Amino acid sequence: MAEKDGLYRCSICGNVISVIEAHDGEIVCCGKPMEILSEKTMDQGQEKHVPVIEKNESGIKVKVGEVPHPMEEMHFISLIQLIRPDGVVMGKRLKQGDKPEAEFCCLADTEDLKARIYCNVHGVWKN
C-alpha cells in the first residue's frame, strides 16, 4: 500500500481533507479519486511557507515562514499541523485575518517534530 497519510484535494470542488488513519481503499470526492498533495520543503520566490518550530514555556509554537505569511481574503494559511515522532498529529484551523501561527501543548524536542501547513494558493509545505 502506498503512503496515504497527508492532505488530499478534490480537483472538482476543491475540498481539502487530512487523513487521520490510512487503510486500503480509495479516497473519493465528487465521484473521482482525490489527489494527495505533495509536500514542498523549499521556498520559491518571495513567499514564505516553510513552517518554523519553536519551543516556548507552554510547549511548541509553529509559525509559517521566517517572515509571517499573508492572511488575506484570497491568500491565507488554513491549517497548521504538528506531527510527533509517534505519529500523533495535532492541528489548528485558521481563517483570514488570523496570525499564521499555532501553539501546541507538546513536550517533545523540536528536532523530533515535523510541521505541515496548507496554503490555499500554494498548497502543502513541511519543515
pLDDT digits (tens, 9 = 90+) for 12-45: 999 999 987 778 889 999 999 999 999 888 766 5
Question: Once rounded to an integer, what is the mean pLDDT over residues 98-119?
Answer: 92
Q: Are residues 25 and 49 in the same domain?
A: no
Residues in the chain: 127
Residues 13 and 43 in one domain: no
Instruction: Check whether residue 101 and residue 51 sit in a common domain.
Output: yes
- Domain-located, residue 46: yes
Q: What's the pTM value of the predicted model, to 2 decimals?
A: 0.87
Structural domain boundaries, residue 70? 39-126
Distance CA 58, CA 119 (A): 26
- How far is residue 47 from each of residues 50, 76, 92, measured CA to CA in Å? 9, 11, 21
Letter for the amino acid at 25?
G
Indicate whether 2 belongs to any domain.
no
CATH number of the domain within which 23 lies:
2.20.28
